[in-house]
Structure formats: structure tokens, C-alpha cells
């Protein structure tokens, strides 16, 4: 089951706001609906947003082509700019939009072909990250079976299939090298409890769910051998933006001597963003913090500070794993010094 795909002239995506209670596949044709789905997290995860961006341009191109196949280029670019800004922190969305736009003048069919290429590349990238990440972790940790802590959702629901950080956990499971996974619930929208637990259960992985505030303490008590996180944007110096709570796990992992590994495709690396201080952090407002699932938990009119992401400094990161290479930041390697390698297969 793919998280997002193209079918019969429209985008089909799993509405992740309804998981894990029910699985609903949405069919999206108007661009406004896609933008709203991205903003309300019906589709989420940096790689999935990249594919959504590309498919969104394909949708625009189809909608703005007349019966003779002539495309209104200016209007298509105007609408693509709106899609590009749907969420500011993750670089993949703008990357997917921009790449699809490179063939816009060739017509709607060319845009769709490019978008589907991006989809297929994402699937291959997730397989490759799983191979690179599993190999690295087994080098770093001298245990036959590994215990991995993670935050948010970085599985197939955050990509087209399989996933980034959770994809490495799946690869370890397939290699009979996973003892247990420890996903954090991931407040305030519980992507770990709702989505990661759902995916771990479906793949048959042993796991126990943790509340967010327990993660750092439990790392200090030796519960996990490594921490895996995804990323929404990786700056040129290795600073990595990810779901809020990642920074505190990195601090705890450093204190406990536990490897802290960022897993994300090359498309998440933004060499034009020099450091984490240059990354815009989205604040999602008070409503998500004041209640959940229609139930109010804080007093009415309570205001909240609600950053969706934080930035982990590169000094706290052991390694960055992409679909093309491993960058050992703990050894002084950088994104500039490590060349791209091959996409790995099982």
C-alpha cells in the first residue's frame, strides 16, 4: 500500500489524520485540497511531501491544459508557487515542485512522467537508506540484536513506501538483527503513537511505546543502543531539522554515549542553507496543544508556543545516512568531503 500515488488523473493519498483508527484513501483533484491536506498533515513526512509537490505540479499542468493540450504556463507557475509554500521547514516539498517545473514547458504529460520518476526514486532511496543504515549501526554497536529509539514517524507513511529511519529498523528486522524498537509518542499530534506504532505492528516488529519526556532519561539508563531520527532539512554544516523533541534526544544520547543517527534522502540536504540557524521553524499555533481528538485538555483561551520542529546541531550527530552515502560527523567528515556513492539494493 502506497502512501501517495497517481491514479486516473488525480492524486490518491492516505489521510494520516485518521490513523490508526481507520485507513481512508483520499482522491485529490483540486490544488486547494492538496495544499490543505499538506497543511493539516493528511500527507506528511519530508519525502512524501516531495512526491506530493511533484504530483501537485502534474495536477496543475493537467488542470491548466486546454482540450488541445496547450498549457497556460504563467498560471501553472503561479499555482505552483502557492503549493511550494504550503509548509516552510521541509525542503523536500519545494524541491519536488521545482524539479517538476523544470519540464513544465514540455507539457502536462512530461510533468507527470517526471513526477512519477520522483515517486519511483523515493522508493529506491528508502531501500538504499535501509541498507546503509543497518550496516552502519551494526558497525557502531557490538550486539547481535539491536535496540533502537526513534521519534515521530519516518516509515512508509512518511515516504511512498518503507521509510527513512523506520526503514532502517525494518531492514534490521528483516536481517534478524532487531531486539526491540522504542518509538516516542511524539506530542502534540502523536505521530509516534498513532503512526509509528501502527507501522511497527504491521511489520511484526517488537516494540514498546514511550512518552516523549521519558526518552532522555531512559537513554541514560541504557534502554537503547542507538537513536534514529529522520530530517526535514539538513543544512550544509550537518545541522538537522526534525520533529520537536529530537534535540533533547540528541543531548541525552551524547550524555549516554549512544550513537545518534540522522536518516534522510539526499533530497533533504540543502547546501544553500548554511546552518541550522537559517532554517525557518514552523509554529503550528495553540489549538494542537490545547486539546486532542476533539477533547479540550487546557483551559479555554490558553495560548501555547508550538514549534513543529527543532534543530539538532551537527556536533551532537554521530552520522548522517542518505540513500547515497554515510557521513560520519563524529570523525570530522562533512557533507562536502564525502562523495556520493551508489544507491544500495538488498
Q: Exposed, middle or buried, 233 (CB in 10 Å: 0-12/13-18/19+)? A: buried
Catalytic residue, chosen from 37, 122, 212, 232, is: 232
**Whether 247 contacts 310, CB under 8 Å:** yes
* End-to-end CA separation in angstroms for the chain: 20
Helical (H) or strand (E) element with 191: helix 191-191
Q: Which residues fall within 8 angstroms of residue 43, CB to CB, at 6 or more apart?
A: 3, 4, 13, 14, 16, 37, 49, 52
37 included as an active-site residue: no
Measured CA to CA in angstroms, residue 83 lies from 12, 34, 35, 98 at distances of 17, 8, 6, 10
Q: Cα 99 from chain centroid? A: 18
Q: Could you tell me the three cell numbers for 148? A: 533502537
* Long-range pairs of 295-302 with CB within 8 A, sequence gap ≥ 24: none
Q: Exposed, middle or buried, 130 (CB in 10 Å: 0-12/13-18/19+)? A: buried
Residues with catalytic roles: 232
Amino acid at each position: 500500500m502506497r502512501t501517495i500515488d497517481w491514479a486516473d488523473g488525480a492524486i490518491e493519498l492516505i489521510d494520516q489524520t485518521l490513523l490508526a483508527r481507520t485507513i481512508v484513501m483520499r482522491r485529490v483533484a483540486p490544488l486547494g485540497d492538496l495544499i490543505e491536506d499538506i497543511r493539516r498533515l493528511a500527507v506528511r513526512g519530508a519525502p512524501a511531501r516531495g512526491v506530493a509537490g511533484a504530483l501537485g505540479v502534474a495536477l496543475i499542468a493537467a488542470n491548466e491544459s486546454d482540450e488541445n493540450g496547450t498549457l497556460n504556463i504563467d498560471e501553472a507557475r503561479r499555482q505552483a508557487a502557492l503549493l511550494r509554500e504550503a509548509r516552510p521547514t521541509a525542503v523536500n516539498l519545494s524541491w519536488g515542485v521545482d524539479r517538476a517545473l523544470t519540464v513544465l514547458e514540455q507539457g502536462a504529460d512530461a510533468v507527470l512522467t517526471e513526477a512519477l520518476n520522483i515517486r519511483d526514486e523515493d522508493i529506491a532511496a528508502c531501500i538504499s537508506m535501509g541498507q546503509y543504515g543497518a550496516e552502519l549501526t551494526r558497525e557502531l554497536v557490538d550486539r547481535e540484536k539491536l535496540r533502537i529509539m526513534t521519534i515521530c514517524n519516518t516509515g512508509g507513511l512518511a515516504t511512498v513506501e518503507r521509510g527513512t529511519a523506520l526503514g532502517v529498523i525494518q531492514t534490521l528486522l528483516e536481517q534478524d538483527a532487531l531486539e526491540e524498537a522504542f518509538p516516542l509518542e511524539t506530542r502534540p499530534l502523536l505521530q509516534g503513537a498513532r503512526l509509528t506504532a501502527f507501522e511497527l505492528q504491521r511489520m511484526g516488529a517488537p516494540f514498546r511505546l514511550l512518552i516523549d519526556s521519558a526518552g532522555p532519561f531512559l537513554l541514560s539508563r541504557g534502554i537503547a543502543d542507538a537513536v534514529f531520527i529522520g530530517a526535514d532539512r539538513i543544512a550544509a554544516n550537518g545541522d538537522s531539522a526534525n520533529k520537536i523533541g529530537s534535540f533533547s534526544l540528541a543531548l541525552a544520547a551524547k550524555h549516554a554515549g549512544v550513537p545518534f543517527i540522522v536518516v534522510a534522502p539526499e533530497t533533504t540536504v540543502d547546501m544553500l542553507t548554511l546552518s541550522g540557524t537559517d532554517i525557518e521553524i514552523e509554529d503550528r499555533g495553540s489549538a494542537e496543544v490545547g486539546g486532542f481528538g476533539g477533547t479540550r485538555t487546557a483551559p479555554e483561551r490558553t495560548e501555547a508556543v508550538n514549534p513543529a520542529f527543532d534543530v539538532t546541531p551537527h556536533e551532537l550527530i554521530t552520522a548522517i545516512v542518505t540513500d547515497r552515502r554515510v557521513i560520519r560527523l563524529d570523525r570530522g567528515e562533512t557533507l562536502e568531503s564525502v562523495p556520493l556513492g551508489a544507491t544500495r539494493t538488498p
